[in-house]
Structure 1
Amino acid sequence: MDQLQNEKSPAKKPARAKKLKGLRAQDPYLAREQQRYENPLPSREFILQVLEQSGAPMTAHDLAQQLGILVEEDVAFERRLQAMGREGQLLINRIGALCLPEKVDLIPGRVQGHPDGFGFLVPDDGSADLFLGPKEMDKVLHGDRVLARRIGVDRRGRPEGAIAEVLQHVNVRLVGRLHAERGVFFVTAEDKRISRDIQVAAGDCGVAKPGQVVMIEMLTQPSRYSPPVARVTEVLGNYDDPGMEIEIALRKHKLPHEFSAEAQALAEKMPKKVRKSDWKPENGVERIDLRDMPLVTIDGETAKDFDDAVYAEKSGKGWRLVVAIADVSHYVRPDDALDLTAIERGNSIYFPRRVIPMLPEQISNGLCSLNPDVERLCMVCDMKVSAKGAIKGYKFYPAVMLSKARFTYTKVWDILQKPDGELAQQYTHQVGHLQTLYALFQAFAAARAERGAIDFETTETEMRFDDKGKISEIVPVVRNDAHKLIEECMLAANVCAADLLLKKEHPGLYRVHEGPSPEKLKNLREYLKTVGLSLGGEDDPSASDYAALLNSFKDRLDAPLLQTMLLRSLSQAVYSPDNAGHFGLSYEAYAHFTSPIRRYPDLLVHRSIKAILAGKKYKPATKWEALGVQCSMTERRADEASRDVQNWLKCYFMQDKVGEEFEGSISAVTGFGMFVLLDKVFVEGLVHVSELGTDYFHYDEKRRELKGEHSGKVYRLTDRVKVKVARVDLETSKIDFVLVLDSQDASNAPRQGRSNASKGNAQRPPRANSQSRAGERSVAKKPASGTMATRTPAATPTAAKPAAKPAARRRRRSPT
């Protein structure tokens, strides 16, 4: 990127385009740089090597002279040095000399703030995080890049740092609420990790009124001696306006939510239907006519973007399964405006009653959606499946299809349960096909159990809304076999896609889910010993070892707790060009192929498969490694934004329930208290440790329990408790509970009425969601756009709550 301008310079080549001489010719990465750039500069690695060998700081001028940088290269070379400085590879000291950070004992990294005013430096090299006290955080905001120096340990034994240099201030525009006190205006950021108030001059408030949600543009970044200053650029509205929680989440998480003019114009030029020209062979590959095949779509009631259709028929003792997926890659071409916006978004985001699509609606809900009774282009995975559910063969090909029906899960399950019922009579021609699909699903399910895929029990909930856009109720939703039927069909197609990439040695993005880390595995085994259980597989357990353990304790009273402990030992799934298999599903290779309308990795896999069919190789403009990082990041970003919206809506829902009593289960235990998931309303809140009674309660991390020193009272995961709603805070999306004690414990009860149970907690918040299923149930279908469906493992906490922070860096990952 630091040579972008140099690459766009006039075609006339400078003198150095000839063979390089002197020190520059010794650059070990010269060949790589020549492949990347027409007029290469010395590589970053070589620049660092020269500085290392010099043994002392050097000025940019001296370094340029030593490397033989020509006059016409000065600007590009300066840009490279500045980029290296921003990324912490170099330190430019007060007199302008270039230093190696490690030589001056400085650690480059990113700041992670905490609502209570302190923060952490997350080092680039993955070493232990450094605690940053409030005085250090006065210099920066959450997300800034800095160089810090370790200065010792804090009173809790954590390594502590001091900021030596701010490399980059990343917060340019923020969303927050405008406040006024005694004529002074300031904004509190919606991202609570930015704990400093941001001052706004009265003349820079525009038409905004105190209490409103606004967008601000930073004018002055913070320093130890001055606060950050900004001006209001946009007024979003009042805090409790319908849909405001989504508007805030979009801006807080920097989610792209408006298509560029170029992308929108390109989408509007798209045809409304399949044209004759679309039938022509692409790179010599014929498009097959499947319009007579009785393919159908099966989705949720409110879904609008149908990206997969299925059909199955008996074939010998087994079946033929056809999975047809919308051919998005035919319309979204590499590096066009639609492709660039799809890369930036990474995936569609499903909020309550609103969807932020990856592609414009003309494509996602129109041209590429497999609507019934209209021709659509598709990519097909045509499989042969044995009677035992094993895939014996497959082929991929482009086709044209015509969906014969748009089914919902509810309708399909009704037809399967009542083949002579009223609904079955309405779809007479489809009943037999659905029954064949169901028989195939049962074979797939048996094969899944045979290979030992992990299948955690989950509780799915659905938010229902009133006319004002607020939650009216939260209800449980039971997944039926129609959901699982589609899921297994999609899993089969995804496995075939990954297998094709491997066999043809074509690069692509795999969905990688690695097994538990040694540290997590050690902690899990230690806990299992305390409850009389063990996990097979020694130092390298397989998914089948996990599945066997799950099956062994399914009838125990503490089964939900044990399941939670197993789930927490797993890693988060990511996208990567390096196949490492999918641990949770027990697949040697797995890729996402079935949802190119709403996931960019699937679109990339389609392009790779088309290249294989044409005997070519697809090479994206961006490196595969970078694409994997980007797609993994956008997935996490979408999850965090959706979780924020859900938490706020739940708080709004509980506002009028302060003082009411509920029963629930302990869903998480920490050193500062325990979280309780309420029955019936499926809302979670905190019971602070000070509310547990007049005793000293100690946290046992291995057992995940709080135990009273004198009373011996123990609170552990999944325990049943009765609580009263004490406080609901919309500002922080937190709910506080107090225990409703029985007569035996009443004498130990503390005084009620704590105003903020979570204050004073000096724990670092988790970086990402650690609670998720090991399976891939979300692979087949997206959440309904009119409701918000959330799947929470039984008795597990949401990721919004704080967690105890060890000294070493911990990465929290979702295994799906």
Structure 2
Amino acid sequence: MGNYFTGPQNLRWYRVTKENIASVDDPFAQREAEKYDNPIPSREFILEHLEQVNKPMRLEQLADSLDIFPEDEERFEALSRRLKAMLRDGQLIKNRRGAFGLIQKMDLIKGKVIGHPDGFGFLSTDSMDDDLFLSAQEMHKVLHGDEVIASVIGEDRRGRKEATIIEVTHHNSTQLVGRVHIEENMAWVHPNNNRITQDVFVPADGLLGAQEGQIVLVDILMQPSRRHGPIGKIVEIMGDYMAPGMEIDTAIHAFGIPNEWPESLLAELDQIPNQVTEADMEGRKDLRHLPLMTIDGADSKDFDDAVFAKRRKNGWRLVVAIADVSHYVKPGSELDKEAYKRGNSVYFPQRVIPMLPEKLSNELCSLNPQVDRLCMVCDMNISDDGQLERSQFYQAVMNSKARLTYNQVHDILTNEQSEHKQTFAPMVEHIESLNELYKILLKSRSERGALEFDTVETQMIFDADRKIDKIIPVVRNEAHKLIEECMLMANVATARFLKWHKLPILYRVHEKPKEEKLKKLKGFLADFGLQLGGGDEPTAQDFDAVMSQVEGKSYSHLVKTVMLRSMNQAVYQPENKGHFGLNYEHYAHFTSPIRRYPDLLIHRAIRHAWLKQGTEGFAYTESQMEVFGRHCSDSERRADEATRDAVTFLKCEFLSHRLGEQYQAVISSVTSFGMFVELDDLYIEGLVHITELGEDYFHFDPVRHCLKGERTGLVYRLGDRVEVQVAQVVLDTRKIDLRLIRHLNPNPVLEGDSVDKVEANNDLPQADSDEDGEGKPKKKRRSRNYRKKRKPRGPKAES
């Protein structure tokens, strides 16, 4: 058996057998023994070993210290492959002498590159709260999404920590979608993803017959480096630039959203019956008598939640039944692998890329009316003051008694003469019970201090050519909020239940705002005579108190917008840190396993706990959940970026036919280079560049979210109203440039406002017209900065 390694803490690793596994210090020795006939040390053990020897080690040194010798070719090669994989995954780094070392010991950082449309980028790391800045020069080496090893080299001129890239451990992009450009004997593809600013050079023999301006798919043959940009060849001509639906196809490819089902998955899907069978129902509680109903949007096709509420002697019973996707999608199956890969369904205008095939998402797992369906049930007791008292989870079979829409339910509750009361007569009593419970839950929400920001959602109405005809706001009525409160209560019950069972799961975590953002927010609020309570640890109730103070004030929208932007983004992670915005101590996603992979994982945990198996034998570990959480958070952001890209292109195209038209708008964001404004009625954002603001030097105040003129004192701040003209639309970069016509409420006097009140700026550019407001020709006048040009005199002019 040979000698085994004895380190500073007597770590031991040698050839593992069933007999000696208990004496091996590798905590994952059992896992390695189950996976391999001739196991080698786990990644975790190798990292701990290098930590203790406290020096980089070459392959031969490391193998010898782990009792793995070159004569044992199979295990020696396995160790070599493992070390290469650890290099690839950024767990180790190899120095110039060929020795493997720990990244943190070499003052290096592993991270993911985030590109910016302006050419520079950032490095997102798990070990640091703030992203590291990457200059445009550094970004020449990589593409957005690449995983790298980097070193901090100091700070840039804005005080941001700056990094240089040492090594690329994983290239994210092997294919790109973009628009091909051909000029003489040269061709290049400009990527559709605006986070990738490098064009892909295409040699003449790699054009595949593509024509100027077409959308193509290009394979990257050579990744970028310091010396050259990416080089590739065209493998598919996707179509013409302005073809209907092309914006969605390009977004799918540009952001790497999986959209084709593997053959192995389709074969597995064929083995699943088309209907719920008697065998499927065995061991389940029968809820088919219960008047459960689904309430969704009018265009919804997958119904994953049904509800029922009933008044009791002391409180309420609320039943939330969720489609039992985990019954059909088993861990490690082809369906499971693809669902994890996708992470979530992606909702584009007029098109959905589902997480699960339609046989499951729209049929077997959809709680369609009047058919038997398998479900996972959260059965709750709620007090008269809206508090969750008890809950139980069980597997059941149900039969939805009605499929209602939000508008139908709202009409039933608010209109005595509603025709829907006749159509859904058996359900009216149950709808009213749900509404009564909703009012109790809403009061509890208000007392809890949960945050609710008024954001406007929009819907695009398309014409026959799949182009935008008009954009309308989506009004959230009481039926939307009713279902939302039921789902929130089920999610809280789920998190509490699994927390008690001590299973590793993914919580939906929304952390409190970061210290720097809090400091800026407090400075901003002080201008309005407002104070955020809670000191250094404000709660959601403290934020809610401020929003209550500004309700009905002229600057209410401004304050709420700035407060919303101070918030962190919610993520999935196994460490429970609560949900700040909703003011919940425990919160997890349980209610949408058809379209979110974290919910599917939660269902598996519930089943495991329900079968009273304890923590032993659960399919997942804490470390696996960490990986799942990062992936699902990333796939959620990927879906958001892809849909935003497609929607932005459609809006740009819509506005490109309206050049010269004038609109009233509200300033939605202020930056150092200008201000973004949202056009009334269209809900489309465009940029008013700082050079459009008049003949003055304007300075950006990031705390007060405004631009202020140095000479005139004129102030443009977030929330102000302006009138603008559409000047230019660039479809390739999704940019809308607007010309400022006038400030509709210049320098309003706000409570606590310390900005100097000044007269309106007469130097603002005017609309393109040769007449004034009375129809008279305008007088040509010189600007204040005009200087009369003189002819040069004598040799002095040449000096």
TM-score for the superposition, normalised by structure 2: 0.86
Residue 210 of structure 2 corresponds to residue 208 of structure 1: yes
Q: Residues 713 and 334 (structure 1 numbering): CA distance in 2 closer, same or farther, change over 3 Å? A: same
Partner amino acid, structure 1, of 2:363: G
Return the alpha-carbon distance in structure 1 between the equivalents of residues 96 and 539 of structure 2: 54
Residue 94 of structure 2 corresponds to residue 92 of structure 1: yes
Alignment of 1:298-337 (within 5 A): 298-316=295-313, 318-337=315-334
Structure 1 residue 120, shift from structure 2 partner: 3.9
Return the alpha-carbon distance in structure 1 between the equivalents of residues 6 and 152 of structure 2: 39
Return the alpha-carbon distance in structure 1 between the equivalents of residues 533 and 132 of structure 2: 37
Structure 1 residue 387, shift from structure 2 partner: 2.5
Partner amino acid, structure 2, of 1:36: R
Q: Residues 132 and 432 (structure 1 numbering): CA distance in 2 closer, same or farther, change over 3 Å? A: closer
Unaligned runs of 5+ in 1: 1-14, 282-286, 754-816
* Deviation by residue 1:364-404 (Cα, 9 ceiling, x = unmatched): 00011111111111112222223322233222222111111
Q: Residues 539 and 183 (structure 1 numbering): CA distance in 2 closer, same or farther, change over 3 Å? A: same
8 A contact 1:23–1:68 mirrored in 2: no
Of 135-144 and 381-390, deviating more is 135-144
Of 374-383 and 388-397, deviating more is 388-397
Q: Residues 446 and 111 (structure 1 numbering): CA distance in 2 closer, same or farther, change over 3 Å? A: closer
SS in 2 for 1:223: coil
The corresponding residue for 1:698 is: 699
SS in 1 for 2:589: coil
Q: Residues 368 and 558 (structure 1 numbering): CA distance in 2 closer, same or farther, change over 3 Å? A: same
Structure 1 residue 658, shift from structure 2 partner: 1.2
Coordinate RMSD, CA, aligned:
2.7
Structure 1 residue 170, shift from structure 2 partner: 3.0
The corresponding residue for 2:378 is: 381
Return the alpha-carbon distance in structure 2 between the equivalents of residues 76 and 467 of structure 1: 59
8 A contact 2:188–2:201 mirrored in 1: yes
Of 671-680 and 602-611, deviating more is 602-611
Partner amino acid, structure 2, of 1:206: L
Structure 1 residue 747, shift from structure 2 partner: 4.1
Residue 167 of structure 2 corresponds to residue 199 of structure 1: no
Return the alpha-carbon distance in structure 1 between the equivalents of residues 346 and 205 of structure 2: 37
The corresponding residue for 1:273 is: 275
Larger radius of gyration: 2
8 A contact 2:504–2:620 mirrored in 1: no
The corresponding residue for 1:450 is: 447
Q: Residues 501 and 231 (structure 1 numbering): CA distance in 2 closer, same or farther, change over 3 Å? A: same
8 A contact 1:86–1:145 mirrored in 2: no
The corresponding residue for 1:139 is: 141
Residue 33 of structure 2 corresponds to residue 26 of structure 1: no
Q: Residues 553 and 96 (structure 1 numbering): CA distance in 2 closer, same or farther, change over 3 Å? A: same
Structure 1 residue 226, shift from structure 2 partner: 3.2
Return the alpha-carbon distance in structure 1 between the equivalents of residues 320 and 44 of structure 2: 48
8 A contact 2:722–2:743 mirrored in 1: no
Which residue of 330, 345, 349 maps to 2:346? 349
The corresponding residue for 2:188 is: 186
Return the alpha-carbon distance in structure 1 between the equivalents of residues 364 and 196 of structure 2: 42
Of 632-641 and 48-57, deviating more is 48-57
8 A contact 1:30–1:42 mirrored in 2: no
Which residue of 432, 435, 438 maps to 1:438? 435
Alignment of 1:523-542 (within 5 A): 523-542=520-539
Structure 1 residue 135, shift from structure 2 partner: 3.8
SS in 1 for 2:234: strand
Return the alpha-carbon distance in structure 1 between the equivalents of residues 287 and 159 of structure 2: 66
Structure 1 residue 633, shift from structure 2 partner: 1.6
Structure 1 residue 173, shift from structure 2 partner: 1.3
Q: Residues 461 and 428 (structure 1 numbering): CA distance in 2 closer, same or farther, change over 3 Å? A: same
The corresponding residue for 1:772 is: none
Alignment of 1:471-620 (within 5 A): 471-617=468-614, 619-620=618-619
Q: Residues 40 and 521 (structure 1 numbering): CA distance in 2 closer, same or farther, change over 3 Å? A: farther
* Deviation by residue 1:233-274 (Cα, 9 ceiling, x = unmatched): 122111211111111111111111111112222223322222
The aligned length equals 732
Q: Residues 164 and 388 (structure 1 numbering): CA distance in 2 closer, same or farther, change over 3 Å? A: closer
Structure 1 residue 184, shift from structure 2 partner: 1.1
The corresponding residue for 1:340 is: 337
Q: Residues 50 and 717 (structure 1 numbering): CA distance in 2 closer, same or farther, change over 3 Å? A: same
Alignment of 1:5-44 (within 5 A): 20-22=4-6, 26=11, 30-38=25-33, 39-42=38-41
The corresponding residue for 1:626 is: 627
The corresponding residue for 2:752 is: none
Q: Percent identity?
A: 51
* Deviation by residue 1:203-248 (Cα, 9 ceiling, x = unmatched): 2222322211111111122233333211111221112111111111
Alignment of 1:30-429 (within 5 A): 30-38=25-33, 39-42=38-41, 58-71=57-70, 72=73, 73-94=75-96, 96-98=98-100, 107-122=109-124, 125-126=127-128, 131-151=133-153, 153-156=155-158, 158-281=160-283, 287-316=284-313, 318-429=315-426
Unaligned runs of 5+ in 2: 14-23, 745-758, 769-799
8 A contact 2:724–2:738 mirrored in 1: yes
SS in 1 for 2:677: strand
Structure 1 residue 723, shift from structure 2 partner: 0.7
Q: Residues 131 and 679 (structure 1 numbering): CA distance in 2 closer, same or farther, change over 3 Å? A: same
The corresponding residue for 2:763 is: 748
* Deviation by residue 1:337-369 (Cα, 9 ceiling, x = unmatched): 111111111111111001111110000000111
Query: Which structure carries more relative contact order (alpha carbon 8 Å, separation 6+)?
Result: 1
Q: Residues 620 and 467 (structure 1 numbering): CA distance in 2 closer, same or farther, change over 3 Å? A: farther
Structure 1 residue 45, shift from structure 2 partner: 6.5
Of 234-243 and 71-80, deviating more is 71-80
Q: Residues 299 and 32 (structure 1 numbering): CA distance in 2 closer, same or farther, change over 3 Å? A: same
Return the alpha-carbon distance in structure 2 between the equivalents of residues 169 and 363 of structure 1: 34
Q: Residues 149 and 483 (structure 1 numbering): CA distance in 2 closer, same or farther, change over 3 Å? A: closer
8 A contact 2:26–2:42 mirrored in 1: no
Return the alpha-carbon distance in structure 2 between the equivalents of residues 49 and 501 of structure 1: 31
Return the alpha-carbon distance in structure 1 between the equivalents of residues 508 and 314 of structure 2: 32
* Deviation by residue 1:613-636 (Cα, 9 ceiling, x = unmatched): 211146235622222222222111
Return the alpha-carbon distance in structure 1 between the equivalents of residues 204 and 762 of structure 2: 54
Q: Residues 109 and 561 (structure 1 numbering): CA distance in 2 closer, same or farther, change over 3 Å? A: same
Return the alpha-carbon distance in structure 2 between the equivalents of residues 742 and 635 of structure 1: 38
Of 48-57 and 333-342, deviating more is 48-57
Q: Residues 457 and 117 (structure 1 numbering): CA distance in 2 closer, same or farther, change over 3 Å? A: closer
Return the alpha-carbon distance in structure 2 between the equivalents of residues 684 and 319 of structure 1: 46
Return the alpha-carbon distance in structure 1 between the equivalents of residues 732 and 544 of structure 2: 41
* Deviation by residue 1:403-460 (Cα, 9 ceiling, x = unmatched): 1111111111111122443221222222111111111111111111121111112222
Of 430-439 and 511-520, deviating more is 511-520
8 A contact 1:33–1:41 mirrored in 2: no
The corresponding residue for 2:714 is: 713
Of 482-491 and 154-163, deviating more is 154-163
Q: Residues 601 and 116 (structure 1 numbering): CA distance in 2 closer, same or farther, change over 3 Å? A: closer
Q: Residues 412 and 150 (structure 1 numbering): CA distance in 2 closer, same or farther, change over 3 Å? A: closer
